[in-house]
Structure 1
Amino acid sequence: MQNNQQPASSLPEFPGFDWLTETDKPVHFDIKTREVNGQLRLLKRGDIHISEGSLSFGAGLATHAGVKHWNNLPVVEMNFVMQGNIVQRNSFMKEEVPFAQGYHNIMYNQGHWEQNRFYGAGVHCNFTVNIAKHRFMELMLPHSAALDGITDNILANKPFVKHQTAKKITPAMSCLIASLWQQQYIGPLRNLHFETKVLELLLLQWNQLNDTAPVYSVLKQPGDKDKIYAARELLLQMKDAPPTLQQLARLCYTNEYKLKNGFKELFNDTVFGYLNTVKLEEAKTLIQNTHKSIAEIAADCGYANPQHFSRAFKKKYGITPGVLRK
């Protein structure tokens, strides 16, 4: 097996979640280095953990090679790329898999190494659900036939990844992900509610990933995807004075139709919707890590009117900038 090509002892192990205790609110961490800023939040409910990591890379950092680590945790993962582009390699996979914005998968890889690389500057955000192996088996073993026998793979400790790169996170999935961070129940019903939402999210994934209907793509010609990635990089470089769609298409040697639809296909967002998200993520970082006023931050991120900025921020994150700062 491929994972035997490099002994586990030579790689750092993922630290796991044993240290994490159940709390009413997520645990937050800041990540700060010379080249990377970011935040990590984690939440534990019984045998299920959720995490969301948001990393912001400087413009000079074209590709960041993450540290390869050994996965020895008995967990089933559900991964969702909320923003950015990640390239992952696992020892049981023949090739790297691009995790573009909107990509999601169901994975089991205990006893194998993985490496994540973040492609391009800007913000990269990944949401993950980890379900303890024993709990996943308790919940899913009665439904093994309907789940294509993945429980057999887990019992045999056989790694797998269930995905279709063309199938993207749906609005229903996004709503469920947001709801998992919200405390809607207390007492013994809290964990039941949390587990129910996770299972609903898993079923949405499974239903979509088993849909074999062909997905139409506008990016058919060699180099089409590279042009859209180039458009994204130019958009980020020119975010303070962004070009029009026509100008951006011309700069990337494509047309507006392919630019608009290709951008939506790769990044699960419109061109300027993506740019707005980048600006709001930058604003979020400034609110949490500087003493600038909200008005100053709004201006820094291209909002002439602080009220417009606050409304856009609340629509995106569910809270106002002032509440976040508190």
Structure 2
Amino acid sequence: MYIYSKLIESETVVCDIRLDNAYNQEELVTESQVNETSERADIQSKSRYSSGFLMLETYFSIRKKVTDQFIVEGEHIQLSFFLNGKSRMMEPLQDSSCDLDIGIMRRNYFKDYHRNFDMRGGNEVNYVAIYLSSDFFRKLVEKEHWAAKDSLVQRVLKRDESGSNDEICAISLPVLKILQELFRSTYDGLHQRYFIELKLKELLFLSYVEHTQLDTTYKGLENTLYTTLEKVKAYLTTHFDNPPTIKQLSRMFSLNELKLKQGFKNLYGTTIYAYVIHLRMQQAEKMLLEDYSVNEMSSILGYRSVSHFISTYKKHFGYTPKQALKRISQSLPLFVAFLNGCLDHSL
């Protein structure tokens, strides 16, 4: 499998990596980075790869229009996550194009892949792309019971590339968490590879779950409205730290404000405001366990004051962040004692 990415106008190479397709669990993970500045754009890109897979996380700060030429040679499974910015995907061989929606996950199976991505000036673009060789993919899912029901897995097993359209769904908060773990983990040696394989398997399972949920009822909504609301939800999931107003959302997605609010409540059983609060509080719980201070959490989650964050947290959970930390500190000794007791008993 060969992965190549280049900004055409500046001749800047973002990725140029050739991988062995065979699954080899004993091969270490390699990491590489690209940090380039040109007249047209600043680029920060990070790759993690080994035999059978490559993960690419890229940020573009674009001053003048650029085109990212992307080529992947070889049979592979692709998972892509468009997290921010404006970009138009073009298929040169088929003379077709489409705008990429923020907060959307795409997955597909290709023999070869050639796309150009146009990105306009004054634009901040962030995406993650994961490429798995077919051999690596099969080894990863071969013992998973859910895989027998996954349409993508079945296409790969049958070597069926006829379904050329991407399978698309909204990126969820658990998916975002896995993406962060894939690029931030700091394990040594083979432990890093084992960890990445576990997280890739978890990511594939979540992508299967998200797609099966698309088959559920639209709750009386017409298909176009359902699709738009899914895009709204996806955008909020990736921008809950700085969410747009209802009026801004209405303009962004060309949807009447009343229809937007009523449709969102009808489909997801909650208001847009409550959904953003829910996302922030989920993230706050995770950050508490990672030793962030209350001040840091308040700032990162987009609150203008610490007191507002604390009052929102207490209203949501029934206790303050400080009280939550106290509960955690009190429960840890009990958990350690329980583990020690289990070890003593086993000995």
Fold conserved between structures, TM > 0.5: yes
Q: Tell me which residue corresponds to 1:172.
A: 174
Task: Measure, in 2, the Cα distance between the counterparts of 1:146 and 1:253.
Answer: 36
Answer yes or no: is the 8 Å Cα contact 2:80–2:129 preserved in 1. Answer: yes
Task: Measure, in 1, the Cα distance between the counterparts of 2:35 and 2:170.
Answer: 28
Which structure carries more strand by proportion? 2
Answer yes or no: is the 8 Å Cα contact 1:108–1:161 preserved in 2. Answer: no
Shift in Å at residue 197 of structure 1?
Answer: 0.5
Answer yes or no: is the 8 Å Cα contact 1:80–1:104 preserved in 2. Answer: yes
Answer yes or no: is the 8 Å Cα contact 1:50–1:129 preserved in 2. Answer: yes
Q: Tell me which residue corresponds to 2:48.
A: 43
1:160 aligns with 2:161: no
Answer yes or no: is the 8 Å Cα contact 1:53–1:126 preserved in 2. Answer: yes
Task: Measure, in 1, the Cα distance between the counterparts of 2:223 and 2:66.
Answer: 27
Shift in Å at residue 33 of structure 1?
Answer: 1.8
Answer yes or no: is the 8 Å Cα contact 1:75–1:132 preserved in 2. Answer: yes
Structure label with greater radius of gyration: 2
Gaps of 5+ in 2: 1-12, 21-26, 233-243, 277-292, 303-347
Shift in Å at residue 121 of structure 1?
Answer: 3.3
Q: Tell me which residue corresponds to 1:106.
A: 107
Shift in Å at residue 30 of structure 1?
Answer: 1.3
How has the CA–CA distance of structure 1 residues 17 and 161 changed in structure 2, closer, same or farther, with 3 Å as cutoff? farther
Q: Tell me which residue corresponds to 1:28.
A: 33
Shift in Å at residue 258 of structure 1?
Answer: 6.2
Task: Measure, in 2, the Cα distance between the counterparts of 1:314 and 1:202.
Answer: 28
TM-score by length of 1: 0.57
Q: Tell me which residue corresponds to 2:150.
A: 147
Q: Tell me which residue corresponds to 1:232.
A: none
Task: Measure, in 1, the Cα distance between the counterparts of 2:61 and 2:263.
Answer: 24
Shift in Å at residue 259 of structure 1?
Answer: 7.6
Task: Measure, in 2, the Cα distance between the counterparts of 1:36 and 1:262.
Answer: 39
Shift in Å at residue 96 of structure 1?
Answer: 2.5
How has the CA–CA distance of structure 1 residues 252 and 174 changed in structure 2, closer, same or farther, with 3 Å as cutoff? closer
1:203 aligns with 2:199: no
Shift in Å at residue 101 of structure 1?
Answer: 0.8
How has the CA–CA distance of structure 1 residues 29 and 244 changed in structure 2, closer, same or farther, with 3 Å as cutoff? same
Q: Tell me which residue corresponds to 1:133.
A: 134
Answer yes or no: is the 8 Å Cα contact 2:141–2:201 preserved in 1. Answer: no
Count of residues in correspondence between the two structures: 242
DSSP-derived class of the 1:96 partner: strand
Task: Measure, in 1, the Cα distance between the counterparts of 2:121 and 2:183.
Answer: 28
Answer yes or no: is the 8 Å Cα contact 1:85–1:119 preserved in 2. Answer: yes
Task: Measure, in 1, the Cα distance between the counterparts of 2:121 and 2:222.
Answer: 22
DSSP-derived class of the 1:213 partner: coil
Q: Percent identity?
A: 14
Answer yes or no: is the 8 Å Cα contact 1:23–1:44 preserved in 2. Answer: yes
TM-score by length of 2: 0.54
How has the CA–CA distance of structure 1 residues 123 and 219 changed in structure 2, closer, same or farther, with 3 Å as cutoff? farther
Q: Tell me which residue corresponds to 1:190.
A: 192
Task: Measure, in 2, the Cα distance between the counterparts of 1:68 and 1:168.
Answer: 25
How has the CA–CA distance of structure 1 residues 198 and 57 changed in structure 2, closer, same or farther, with 3 Å as cutoff? same
Shift in Å at residue 176 of structure 1?
Answer: 0.7
Q: Tell me which residue corresponds to 1:56.
A: 61
How has the CA–CA distance of structure 1 residues 259 and 244 changed in structure 2, closer, same or farther, with 3 Å as cutoff? same
- 1:24-46 Cα shifts (integer Å, max 9, x gaps): 7x432113221211210111244
Shift in Å at residue 254 of structure 1?
Answer: 7.5
> Which moved further from structure 2: 66-75 or 42-51?
66-75
Q: Tell me which residue corresponds to 2:82.
A: 81
How has the CA–CA distance of structure 1 residues 255 and 52 changed in structure 2, closer, same or farther, with 3 Å as cutoff? same
Shift in Å at residue 47 of structure 1?
Answer: 2.7
Q: Tell me which residue corresponds to 1:96.
A: 97
Q: What RMSD over aligned residues (CA atoms) do the two structures have, in Å?
A: 4.7
Name the aligned partner's letter for residue 37 of structure 2.
K
- 1:218-255 Cα shifts (integer Å, max 9, x gaps): 9969xx99xx9xxxxxxxxxxxxxx9866997999986
Q: Tell me which residue corresponds to 2:281.
A: none
Answer yes or no: is the 8 Å Cα contact 2:29–2:190 preserved in 1. Answer: no
Name the aligned partner's letter for residue 137 of structure 1.
R
How has the CA–CA distance of structure 1 residues 134 and 55 changed in structure 2, closer, same or farther, with 3 Å as cutoff? same
Q: Tell me which residue corresponds to 1:287.
A: none
Name the aligned partner's letter for residue 205 of structure 2.
L
Answer yes or no: is the 8 Å Cα contact 2:81–2:103 preserved in 1. Answer: yes
Shift in Å at residue 113 of structure 1?
Answer: 2.3
Gaps of 5+ in 1: 1-11, 229-242, 274-306, 317-326
Answer yes or no: is the 8 Å Cα contact 1:27–1:41 preserved in 2. Answer: yes
